[in-house]
Amino acid sequence: MLPSSKPFLGTLFATIFVIPLAILVGFLLADPTDFTSMVGFGLLFLFFSIPFLIYLHHTVLILSCTAFINAFFLPGEPQMWMLLAGLSFLISIISRPLHGQTQTYCGNPSLDLSVVFMMAVVLFTMKATGGTGFNILGAQVFGGRRYITMLAAVVGYFALILNPLSLEKAKSLGSMFWLMSCSSILGNLAFALGPSFYFLFYLFPVDFVISQANADNITLSGGFVRLSGLAPLGFGLLYWLLARFGLAGILDWRKSWRLSVALLSLLFILMAGFRSNLILLMLLFMALFFMEKLHRTIYAAILVGLLLLSSSFLIAFSDRMPLTIQRSLSFLPLKVETVAKADAEGSLNWRLDMWRVVVTDIPRYFWVGKGFSINPTDLYFSQIALRRGFYSPSEAARLAGDYHNGPLSVIIPFGILGVIGFVWFLTSVYWVLRNNYKYGHPELRKLNRFFLGFFIARLIFFLVFFGAATSDFWLFASIAGLNLSMNRGMARAPQPIQINPQSTLAGTDESPAVAGKIPVLV
């Protein structure tokens, strides 16, 4: 009897594949914090994730859109959604011929063209202002990361609309999309747990931990311990509730846990210490309040009661709350500690000073924008001058292009072409969200309403209070792309059916269907 070939095949597989892989992993584990080792681990992880990504790439992309996770194994540590956007787009294009007619195009022509136009503006500006500025590749300037963010947003938008969602997936992923921003708190937790957990900063960004790390130095923290990661955590929980249940659903007294989670989320947002977060919430609640027509229901009385109760509490105890909460409330007519009010006013004053200077640059960059290139020497000397009292606190932010203002973050880097493209893009996004809310599937009405209400609130916030073209472009593009995928395109108003009077048979009572005539759609 011939020996079985299975042991031979197993030995051959171990010799050719498993043993070399084990040797490679052992080599990488010799120094896991080395850049080469991290790149190797990342490539191995991607290799073994290919079967998983082929089937779930679109779902994984949706869940990563609002998540705060780094692709630590790539140069520059871009956010994970950028990598997944490219992979999802590539898989969608390669697999599209296999799906044939079953894979429906979900895009909207006007919105698609506006996104392509913005990509062309970014590429033109990058070329006209001296290149990308990838310092990690040896360039003498900074700023290439913002170009990559804008271009990755374009790829991510098309990756989203190339894959329509079923109704059940649309209902679940439409709300989970917002919940993933809760990952922001993991960086704060890693810092609080001590050096043994600092390896997590490879995966989670440190942006939310800087204020927490500076808390021991009063000159750096300003006397505040801001847990910045609490704000996206609170927003994620609150957005998930509003998207899934609506504002009326949160106020439903039979489901008290919803209101409890909403109040806890509000506490998290206030503890982050940013006034703008509370302003954004107020805009969102106002938009949803009128969109849900709650002013005509008993919920209006409930909201008034909650506002009166919370106002009484704040008037009585506002100056006894933690300083971060007092800073968040400092723009309201409440009694707060002097240090909280002074810190908030100082932040506002240096922004106003910067805007007065930046506005004078608009004619200079009207036709061809400034771009995102940053000279590190200028930035270094501005910081030195700031320490010696020669520069205002806004000078370093101005040189870095961090204008803290939505319209300025568009016209200064991209000029008039960027303004035209961004206005076209925002108008198209509004039109898509509005049509899907009015004419979309009835089971998606709550989700579509929240998408539109969030866009309206965020757009006002971007134009009046705070905004950044790079991050907000991806935010608006992702919600538009997901909304199109959820609704399988842009819904249209139902067309009335008009019966052709000549379709009925003369002298009979037969209907058009019986007479063999087809109603004319107008």
For residue range 429-481, what is the model confidence (pLDDT) as tens digits?
A: 999 999 999 999 999 999 999 999 999 999 999 999 988 999 999 999 999 99
In the structure encoding, which two tokens stand for residue 49, read together? 């994730």
Q: What is the dihedral of CA 480, 486, 489, 490, to 10 degrees?
A: -70
The helix (run of H) or strand (run of E) holding residue 481 is helix 469-487
Output the pLDDT for position 517: 38
pTM score, two decimals? 0.84
Closest CA to 423 of 114, 86, 179: 114
Q: Could you give the CA distance from residue 31 to residue 476 in angstroms, rounded to a whole number?
A: 41
The tokens for 516 are 């063999």
165-208 per-position pLDDT tens digit: 999 999 999 999 999 999 888 888 888 888 888 888 888 888 77
Give the chain's largest Cα–Cα span.
Answer: 99
Amino acid in position 132: T
| DSSP annotation string for 112-150 | HHHHHHHHHHHHHHHHHTTS---GGGT-SSB-HHHHHHH
As to burial, measured by CB atoms within 10 angstroms (0-12 exposed, 13-18 middle, 19+ buried), residue 34 is exposed
| Helix residue ranges per DSSP H, 390-467 | 394-399, 406-439, 445-464
Q: Which of 316, 359, 322, 365 is nearest to 340 (CA)?
A: 322
Task: Split the chain (522 residues) into runs of 10 and give each run's mean pLDDT.
Answer: 50 52 52 56 66 84 92 82 92 76 76 96 87 54 80 95 92 93 87 82 81 58 68 94 92 88 93 89 93 86 84 83 86 85 82 87 89 68 61 68 88 94 97 95 94 96 92 95 94 74 49 39 32
Q: What is the pLDDT of residue 387?
A: 64
Contact yes or no for 467/486 (Cβ under 8 A): no
Here the tokens at position 165 are 């969602």
Q: Which residue has the tokens 């914090």?
A: 33
How much helix, strand and coil, in percent to the nearest 5, is found in the chain?
Answer: 70, 0, 25
pLDDT, position 100: 55
